[in-house]
Amino acid sequence: MSGARVLEAQVGIVGAGPGGMAAALHLARAGITVVLLDEGFRAGGQIYRQLPEGYDAGHRISEPPSHRAGNHLLDAVARERIRIVHGATVWNARPGQIYYEQNNESWLLACEQIVLAPGAYDRCVPFPGWTLPGVITAGAAQVMVRGFAVAPGQRALVCGTGPLLLPTVTALASAGVKVVAALEAAPRSAMWAALRGVIGNGARMREALFYARSLLRRGIRLQWGASVFAADGDGRVQSALIGKLDQQGAPRPETARRIEVDVICAGFGLVPAIELGLLLSCAARYDAPRGGHCLVVDEQQRTSVDSVYAVGEIVGIGGAEVAMAEGRVAGAAIAARLTSVSFDPRLALHARSERRAADAMLRAFQLRPGLFSICKPDTVVCRCEDVTSSQAAAAGELYGRTTRGIKMGCRAGMGPCQARICGLNLHDIFCDGVEPDLPVAQVPVKPVRTATMIDVPRR
């Protein structure tokens, strides 16, 4: 039956992106046994996503200067022979135990300490036509280019908000896609606010300069205060309606114009993937600029649960530099706990300064409430359960204008994605003025086979 499908390590890390890898490296170098669990096929996470084995794209795919740090980290992790389990879908966890499915088999990673570094996913904002095949997230487009050397289309619209639009545009352009329009929903003043926030952070300033140059060189202009209004097409995206936004971020219909595109890449920021933290009963709080609900940690990346640490996006969106810095902190804190080395507080100071720069940038790109009026009454808001905006609104009237009330009334947020895509929208569109409900994490946090949950390995 369950046999020996048990791995043991002193530290179990969920996520092989910059945060998880940095923590793993620090621990391995301190002589501590580590296992990294990752759902992808190769290490790097989404930000340092690698091409599959056997691929070589030379320098054809645009890489910002910050990716050099990622490549160093990937090399170092490989050199240390750190064990990474790929294709692992973690579906349950409690202190000391991480349960995952791999190749349809049920596995247990038994460990003394846990580091959560699961990363983030794209924030979506619903607009008419966004369920048409061909509307993808900005992250999805980057996965196609950086992860498979595939162009998402021939003519693209890039839209949404935040610093991730720039790497999306440059990735598409380097893949030979014609970027017909690049629309940033934030007003131009956000650019100055973001730049003020990163003054003094050399790496982030170099990054901004790299993107400014590469857009200029390709003749692509980022339009501020503009957005997609709708996607259209027969069974797939063939055109998009775009236009300017007003002071509140609401669409100005008189500015609308139609462009012919075969792919729409929309990214309205990122959302921290906190489900595992909630399942482990870690304290969380709502922080809109950081992307939604985030785990609470102390200066050593400890959560409220003893033996559970959290780094990177799960603590609030911050990017790869923050994740790496916090990963090192968690690694050092755990090493201090398990061995005789002492914790170097300078690591925590560095992580805090990276976090400050990221926070300043994110504050500039907060979604303005008017933007949600691009979502019309018959627009689907919950894609899993096919719930429209008017149905969700009606449910809110009947059962209370909270995400829980809406769920109860119309099943929005109860499908396989477990409200990862619609949860924040249900709040931001229908529950004005109420603090968002803490999402409920249920076992399994991701759908797995029933057999996986029945045939659970035991130590």
Partner 1 sequence: MSRDLRMDGVLRPPEITFTFAGQPISARQGETIAMALWVAGQKALRNSSKDGAPRGVLCNMGICYECLVRIEGAPVRACMVLATEGLNVEPGGKS
The count of residues in the chain is: 459
Beta bridge partners of 226: 244
Tokens of 151: 């162009």
Where would I find the beta strands (DSSP E) of 306-353? 308-310
Q: Which is nearer to partner 1, 391 or 402 (CB)?
A: 391
Give the other-Cβ count within 10 Å of 6's Cβ. Answer: 14
Q: Minimum distance from CB of 57 to partner 1 (Å)? A: 5
Q: Which is nearer to partner 1, 74 or 140 (CB)?
A: 140
Q: Minimum distance from CB of 417 to partner 1 (Å)? A: 5
Q: Minimum distance from CB of 448 to partner 1 (Å)? A: 11
Q: Minimum distance from CB of 150 to partner 1 (Å)? A: 5
d(CA 328, CA 45): 16
Contact 197, 361 (CB under 8 A): yes
Q: Which is nearer to partner 1, 202 or 235 (CB)?
A: 235
Contact 119, 15 (CB under 8 A): yes
Q: Which is nearer to partner 1, 142 or 201 (CB)?
A: 142
DSSP state of 376: -
Q: Minimum distance from CB of 2 to partner 1 (Å)? A: 21
User: CB burial class (10 A; 0-12, 13-18, 19+) of residue 414?
Assistant: middle
Q: Which is nearer to partner 1, 340 or 450 (CB)?
A: 450
Tokens of 160: 């949404």
User: CB burial class (10 A; 0-12, 13-18, 19+) of residue 287?
Assistant: middle
Q: Minimum distance from CB of 116 to partner 1 (Å)? A: 16
Tokens of 359: 């926070």
Q: Which is nearer to partner 1, 312 or 331 (CB)?
A: 312
Classified as helix, coil or strand, 409 is helix
Angle at 92 between CA 89 and CA 93, to 5 degrees: 115
* 42 to 45, 51, 148: CA distances (angstroms): 8, 8, 12
Q: Which is nearer to partner 1, 137 or 402 (CB)?
A: 137
Which residue in this structure is represented by tokens 């619209």?
157
Q: Which long-range contacts (CB under 8 A, 24 or more apart) does 250-256 make?
A: 250/370, 250/371, 250/373, 251/227, 251/370, 251/373, 251/374, 253/229, 256/229
Q: Which is nearer to partner 1, 55 or 192 (CB)?
A: 55
Q: Which is nearer to partner 1, 370 or 447 (CB)?
A: 447
Give buried/exposed letters for 358-391 (b at 16+ CB in 10 A, else e). Answer: bbbbbebbebbebbbebbeeebbbbbbbebbbeb
Contact 407, 413 (CB under 8 A): yes
Q: Minimum distance from CB of 446 to partner 1 (Å)? A: 8
Q: Which is nearer to partner 1, 98 or 265 (CB)?
A: 265
Q: Minimum distance from CB of 204 to partner 1 (Å)? A: 24
DSSP state of 417: T
Q: Minimum distance from CB of 177 to partner 1 (Å)? A: 9
Q: Which is nearer to partner 1, 276 or 357 (CB)?
A: 276
Antiparallel, parallel or unpaired: β 226-232 and 239-244? antiparallel
d(CA 226, CA 266): 12
Give, for 195, the enclosing helix (H) or strand (E).
Answer: helix 189-198
Q: Minimum distance from CB of 430 to partner 1 (Å)? A: 20
The identity of residue 458, as a single letter, is: R
Contact 329, 311 (CB under 8 A): yes
Q: Minimum distance from CB of 41 to partner 1 (Å)? A: 7
Q: Which is nearer to partner 1, 170 or 301 (CB)?
A: 170
**Residues binding partner 1 (CB under 8 A):** 39, 41, 46, 51-58, 60-61, 87, 89, 121-122, 124, 131-137, 139-141, 143-145, 148-154, 175-176, 235-236, 273, 383-384, 386, 415-417, 420-421, 446-447, 449
Q: Minimum distance from CB of 143 to partner 1 (Å)? A: 4
